[in-house]
Amino acid sequence: MSTSYQTANGVFTRKSTFFWASVGATVGLANLWQFPYLASLHGGGLFVLIYLACLLLVTLPLMVTESALGRYSRHGIVLAMDGLIRSTRCSRAWMLAGRLSVLAAFVVLSYTAVFGSIALAYVFFGAMGRLSSGSEAEAASVLSGLVSDPGQYRNFMAWHAFFLLLVVWVSVQGVARGLERTMRVVVPGALVLMLVLFGLAAWQGRIDGAFAHTLEMRPEDVSLGSIKAALFHAFFTLGLGMGVWTVFGTYTTPDTRFKRSILAVVLMDTLVAVLAGLMIFALATGGTDFDGERGFSLLFVSLPVSLAQFPGSQLIIACAFLLVVMIVWTTSLALLEPVVGWLREWTGAPRGISVVLVGLLVWAAGLVTLLSFNIWAEYRLYGATLFRWLELFTGGLLIPLVAILIALFTGWCLTRRLAHQLLGRTPGLFARLWYWDMRTVLPVVVAYVGIMYTAFSLNNLCENGSAALWCERPAPLVLEIAPDETQGADPGPSVSGGQGSEPRSEGAEPADGDEQATPERVEQPENAPKEDEILYHSV
């Protein structure tokens, strides 16, 4: 039976579902492969506190605003903006915020699903014993065979289709029967599995080192760069600027205290980030040292190598990557909703047709990312693959721009009365601070995040050898050596190739003086994403 808050797209039947769905949307791969590295580098427990402060001061107001748009209008981000624009007679140009947010969700989902497919394949690889050798070279070979081998890209495409089929299968059943049921089962299940793996690490005596690196207070390691890292991580890991919070606000029941729920989500995200950081640090490194490792190689090379030392390693590796699949699965379900909701509101098409159509388009768009790791790896624009430009386009432009436009629209286009009506019942001090934050602070902070993110990414291209116009070209260095000094000199160890100088051999055996040991070592696949290429956007 339809209720007074029933929407055309569907509705949650329980008020706690908003919390579980939001946790599923916010807990992403960055909690596994980025947060522990950042905490160990930037002061441990002090970084966690700085990160929590950034969540509360910067991202919490934006999360409340996006959720309030959906709750107030009972529509997705595009129609929500349209209704408010009509009621305030503001410029139709503000509609750009809604449309860009849907585009951002679509693009991010396209490459998030690719990483989900790798994790899904690793569940089966682990169960079959392909990752149980304990050799880093073997683990890198498995990853290379799946991701970057040009002759095996069709297998990669099959795993990609398999993962998206799981996403579509849930979404096509509707909001209540599909999305709500899955979030209420999978998200708590993922947290329980994370606790089990955490307990396994504690049982093996690996937690003490993880606590020391991740939670120990180290003021000497805190700098302005630490604040910037915490701000970036807080902004990019919570699904802002992609319409996710608006569509979840649309689905909430009338008795859902969504502002309290959002605060609970922020605290839960921090708790999960800390727990995941401890777990990954303990399991992937043995609780000793990260050695600067993060990202792709940490999750898909170091983790299975370390887990292979455990009794029953096949089951443990399969469970570890099942956890990763559950995290990416819920994230993908959340990202799919704004796109499906927009298509249904725009065309009036049934949900089943809309989900299947969007799923096919996401699969096709995901091939751009998938193939840029193998058969399209040589096609580069200014030194970057197509995936790298997609990631930069969403992280440096789309998501910050949407957040800025929503903040400016709320603070300057809406009247104060309408803005407070949008926010709902709330303490007067919070309402005034929120409104002032939307008008002044958040647009500046988010613009800074977007600009610095873009600058960092473009500079990273230069460090990787790009010949782009923005890269500095230093004058060639001429070194004059006296002729008599070159006769009979011991050339010493060669580092001209750059590979031997990188501290990335924690899983390899000592070379024992063999000059060919370093070149023979199999590292992360050449065409796989590097640590600096996947920063935050698997939400």
Q: What is the pTM of this model?
A: 0.86
- CB neighbour list of residue 443: distance below 8 Å, 6 or more residues apart: 404, 407, 408, 411
> Hunting for tokens 């909690």 — which residue is that?
31
Residues 6+ positions from 480 with CB-CB distance below 8 Å: none
> In CATH, what number does 15-464 get?
1.10.4160
What is the helix (H) or strand (E) element at residue 231, kind and residue range?
helix 224-236
Calpha distance 528→370 (Å, rounded): 10
Determine the pLDDT at residue 7: 59
Number of neighbouring beta carbons within 10 Å of residue 59 = 26
Determine phi and psi for 384, rounding to 5 degrees.
Answer: -120, 145
List, in order, residues 6 or more apart from 92 with CB less than 8 Å away.
85
pLDDT at 535: 45
Q: What is the rounded CA–CA span in Å between residue 346 and residue 356? A: 16
Integer Cα distance of 441 and 272 in angstroms? 28
In 10 A of CB 266, how many CB atoms? 20
Q: What is the pLDDT of residue 467?
A: 63
Q: 133: burial class by Cβ within 10 Å (0-12, 13-18, 19+)?
A: middle
CA angle 361/142/371 to nearest 5° reads 30
- List of E strands, 49-195: none
Q: List the chain domain ranges.
A: 15-464
Does residue 112 contact residue 331 with C-beta atoms inside 8 Å? yes
Nearest CA to 155 out of 181, 116, 119, 121 is that of 121
- What is the per-residue pLDDT for 286? 60
Of 32, 33, 39, 34, give the one whose Cα is nearest residue 213.
39
Contact of 199 with 4, CB cutoff 8 Å: no
- Write out the two tokens for 496: 């001209």
Tally the residues of the chain.
539
In angstroms and rounded to an integer, the radius of gyration of the C-alpha atoms of the chain is 24
Average pLDDT, 10 consecutive residues per value, the chain (539 residues) = 54 93 92 84 91 91 94 93 92 95 96 96 94 87 92 94 97 95 96 92 79 86 92 90 94 88 93 88 67 71 89 92 96 97 93 96 96 91 87 93 96 91 86 91 94 87 70 52 39 34 35 38 52 45
Please check whether residue 239 is in contact with residue 245, taking contact to mean a CB–CB distance below 8 angstroms.
yes
- Predicted pLDDT of residue 529: 58
